[in-house]
Amino acid sequence: MGAEVRSTCPYCGVGCGVLLSPDGAGGLSVRGDPDHPTNRGRLCSKGSALAETVGLGERQLVPLVHGTEAAWKDALTLVATRLRKTVEAHGPDSVAFYVSGQMLTEDYYVANKLMKGFIGSANIDTNSRLCMASTVAGHRRAFGTDTVPGTYEDLDEADLVVLVGSNLAWCHPVLYQRIMAARERRPLRLVVVDPRRTASCEGADLHLALEPGSDVALFNALLAEIARRGADDPAYVAAHVSGYAEAVAAAKASDPAITGLSPEEVRDFCDLWIGTERVVTIFSQGVNQSSSGSDKVNAILNCHLATGRIGRPGMGPFSVTGQPNAMGGREVGGLTNTLACHLEIGNPAHRAAVQAFWRSPAMPEAPGLKAVEMFRAVADGRIKALWVIHSNPAVTLPEADLVRETIAACPFVVVSDVTTRTDTARHAHVFLPATAWAEKSGTVTNSDRRISRQRAVVAAPGEARPDWRILAEVARRMGFEEGFGWTSEAEVFAEHAALSGIAGGFGLDFDISNRAGLSAADYDAMPPFRWPDGPAKQGGRFFAEGGFYHPDGKARMLPLVPRPPAAALTPEHPFRLNTGRLRDQWHTMTRTALSPRLSAHLPEPFADMHPEDAARLGLSPADLVRLTSPQGSAILRLRITSDVRPGQLFAPMHWTGETAPAARIDALVAAVTDPLSGQPESKAAAVAAARFDAAWYGFAISTTRPAPDCAYWALARTTRGYRAELAGTEAIADPEAFARALFGLPDAALQMSRDAGKGRWRMAFLRGETLLAALYLDRAPVRLMRDFLAGLPGTETCWALAGKARGDMPDPGAVVCSCYAVGRNTILRAISAEGLRSVQAIGASLSAGTNCGSCKAELAALLNEGVSEAAE
């Protein structure tokens, strides 16, 4: 085993440091970096399972042109020529780049420079439009620049943390654990503002299940109450804030009943917030992904500005970033409406300075198209060449089916990805194989502005190349030799740092130009640092003493009027569909679904529905439901739970054409956006729900990847291969032939049991004594010990046909603790048999929850449940 190398986790914006030990054969082991200031050694379930996701099984390692392997020089020349010819024939705005908050800063810098400085168009936008755009817009309106004022240390020092539209326990688990740890030292209180009961509510003192989209009304109520009780900070407001009176007047005119909360709940919330000076209000996608997202952000900022609770230890508004380099992308200026380093594209002085620095031939004078508009322009032919880098828009943009068709019909599509197994890459004319996380080197910036190195520890496999190099080579082949001649990512970083000095010269916040002269060795060794990092920088915080970036140095409070979600509920589409994330999957699952451990947590796409709605619609647990919106439809497994309110549904965003083609949730979401930020409303579609009447249901296990062909299927990895849920609308004429085709086993030995009258078939395929695959068919949703069966393929077993374990081989149930693979039934059994009464006691007995701690909230929920419920 080689020496440990310091790097950064490639998933969420917490930005945890990791220590990587390559095994010399392409594999590695991963542990949390005890010296990284962000996580001090902690990792969540996804970070802990990183080693399981670095295999090459699904990678494409050679460029493809029209689906055929090609030499790099031919692929790059083709891309450069097509881009250049398209620009010559139709102007610079006929080409577009769609990039990603998961690119490294160096990749992002090169893409932005090529498009904005050399192609001369602003048609570069990023998936951060779906993620952080409303926060960027809100920050800029209030502060004059896109600055996150606080730091993670504020979470250690706060007396109250409010999570607004943030399921921190699952999406930023190490921060959630940090809050839970702080709480053991001091009386910290936690409030969750979310229409749905989430894992983050387990540790909360108060959960406000407000009406979807009504956050402005809630924070208006708080602001009005701040003013009424005289809880504002007149000195701070007088010196540093404008717009106070108008904002308060609008807040007083706004009706708190819009929130759907009781007057007592609103009062309790106001009492807590107003009565606790050290309050951090954390917000993420429940705020941003809304047609009033920017207003929601400003409604929160208003309250912190009015009370002067900003930039001091333990208090402030805190937008947590989603992607590992969402913040770095904002620093680079990767959004179409920004330039570089927090400079403005619409500001002639900024533009001239950047143009001089880049020695650029052509610069756009105005913002280009934001993500949703960009794909509309592809659809109507204004954009004729599209390059997608490090994102999967055919799945994650609203109206995803339309976007997929748009990409398929675009005359020239380039996709840079690590795998061709994505709904977007499938339509690439040119596929460019990028190096993946452990193979590439650069920097990322996390939620609290800390810049950390990502370091390559594994040699680039096959012909894969880093994204920045691919971009620079295309630029050079387009004739821009001079601006793109770097030989290492260290040189790209140094140039970015130098450019930030121009921003600093304009008095802007983002200035890391003290690193412009960095040598390659300095860059290699660069420890994590947070900007601003000079000695007099207020502990890394902004705005305690004012110093905002509007010309008058003051912040703006804004008068805000609540608006409901754009998609109106109607008798045809009566349900509000909320969407979001699961603990152990990352977006479109191209990496996390490679890990059997992570796949075991929630192996199938689902829709959560309240029991009253299910009863009214005559639905039972484990039914399949079809959700339909004016934009599209999806088939999902029904979960009946009072975690969601009546009239609301929740479904995860993760499944795709590769994993469950009928469950692409963005197919249902209308492409309505916040008017200021252009961010889509991903959490408030209007949908209908009805039982999906399948003629048959099936469950399959297999050592190799099955190839389902039916109306509904969902595939997940297991330690022994794969498991799949299946359902079809037409009776299967020949079940054996169906099963053989599904598994690609034309002549394996078959054991079968059937009850043809009931439509029940059980088929096990064997080589010698070894189980290769098994299929269970029924006319109703199949009842089986799935988690037990998933462990059988590849073993010599006689239990496959039984479909369940012997009494002394208990079914562990779905995995709750993915670090120690402890299942739900195991935990419930231990709770009742051993009389366990605390999360710690479960840990002591089963180890569950004692490594990364991401499952502690679920363990707490099982404790409540387990006392009354016996394990199945």
Which positions lie near ligand MGD, rule CB under 6 A?
12, 46, 100, 102, 127, 130-131, 164-167, 170-171, 193-196, 198, 212-213, 215, 284-286, 289-290, 322-323, 389-393, 396, 416-419, 422, 434, 436, 467, 578-581, 583, 585-588, 590, 653, 665-666, 669, 682-683
Cβ closer to ligand SF4: 46 or 541? 46
Q: How far is the CB of 183 from ligand MGD (least distance, A)?
A: 19
Kindly state the DSSP code that residue 256 receives in the 8-state scheme: G
Q: Is 653 in the site for ligand SF4 (CB under 6 A)?
A: no
**Which DSSP string do the residues of 475-543 spell out, in sequence order?**
HHHTT-TGGG--SSHHHHHHHHHHHHHHHHHTT-S---GGGTT--HHHHHHPPPEESS-STTSGGG---
Residue 264 and residue 341 in contact, taking contact as beta carbons nearer than 8 Å: no
Q: How far is the CB of 549 from ligand SF4 (least distance, A)?
A: 29
Residue 393 and residue 115 in contact, taking contact as beta carbons nearer than 8 Å: no
Which strands sit side by side in the sheet containing 189-193, from one edge to the other?
A: 206-208, 189-193, 160-164, 279-283, 316-319
Residue 418 interacts, among Mo ion, ligand MGD, ligand SF4, none and using kind-specific CB cut-offs from 5 to 8 Å, with: ligand MGD
> What would the x/- binding string for Mo ion be over residues 318 to 347, using CB under 5 A?
----x-------------------------
Could you give the CA distance from residue 556 to residue 88 in angstroms, rounded to a whole number?
44
* Three-state SS letters, 392-440: CHHHHCCCHHHHHHHHHHCCEEEEEECCCCCCCHHHCCEEEEECCHHHC
Q: How far is the CB of 406 from ligand MGD (least distance, A)?
A: 15
Residue 439 and residue 458 in contact, taking contact as beta carbons nearer than 8 Å: yes
Q: Is 237 in the site for ligand SF4 (CB under 6 A)?
A: no
Kindly state the DSSP code that residue 203 receives in the 8-state scheme: G
Cβ closer to ligand MGD: 48 or 396? 396
C-alpha distances (whole Å) from 869 to each of 144, 828, 856 are 54, 8, 19
Residue reference for tokens 């010309």: 551
Residue 578 interacts, among ligand MGD, ligand SF4, Mo ion, none and using kind-specific CB cut-offs from 5 to 8 Å, with: ligand MGD
How many Cβ atoms sit within 10 Å of the Cβ of residue 840? 13
Residues 6+ apart with CB under 8 A from 752: 736, 761, 762, 763, 764, 801
| Contacts (CB under 6 A) with ligand SF4, residues 302-331 | none
Residue 293 and residue 216 in contact, taking contact as beta carbons nearer than 8 Å: no
Q: Which member of 83, 124, 132, 174 binds ligand SF4 (CB under 6 A)?
A: 174
Q: How far is the CB of 288 from ligand MGD (least distance, A)?
A: 8
Residue 53 interacts, among ligand SF4, ligand MGD, Mo ion, none and using kind-specific CB cut-offs from 5 to 8 Å, with: none
Among 532, 140, 149, 448, residue whose Cα is nearest residue 311: 149
Residue 319 and residue 284 in contact, taking contact as beta carbons nearer than 8 Å: yes
Q: Is 170 in the site for ligand SF4 (CB under 6 A)?
A: no
Q: How far is the CB of 659 from ligand MGD (least distance, A)?
A: 11
Q: How far is the CB of 342 from ligand SF4 (least distance, A)?
A: 24
> What would the x/- binding string for ligand SF4 be over residues 2 to 21, using CB under 6 A?
-------x-xx-xxx-----
HSE at residue 686, side-chain half, CA atoms within 13 A, is 13
Kindly state the DSSP code that residue 213 receives in the 8-state scheme: T
When CB distances to ligand SF4 are compared, the closest residue is 47
Residue 393 interacts, among ligand SF4, ligand MGD, Mo ion, none and using kind-specific CB cut-offs from 5 to 8 Å, with: ligand MGD
Which strands sit side by side in the sheet containing 68-69, from one edge to the other?
A: 68-69, 64-65, 430-433, 412-417, 385-389, 95-99, 124-126
Cβ closer to ligand MGD: 65 or 780? 65
> What would the x/- binding string for ligand SF4 be over residues 27 to 56, using CB under 6 A?
------------x---xx-xx---------
Q: Is 131 in the site for Mo ion (CB under 5 A)?
A: yes
Q: How far is the CB of 660 from ligand MGD (least distance, A)?
A: 14
Cβ closer to ligand SF4: 322 or 364? 322
* Three-state SS letters, 638-664: EEECCCCCCCEEEEECCCCCCCCHHHC
Cβ closer to ligand SF4: 442 or 504? 442
Residues that bind Mo ion (CB under 5 A): 131, 322
Residues that bind ligand SF4 (CB under 6 A): 9, 11-12, 14-16, 39, 43-44, 46-47, 172-174
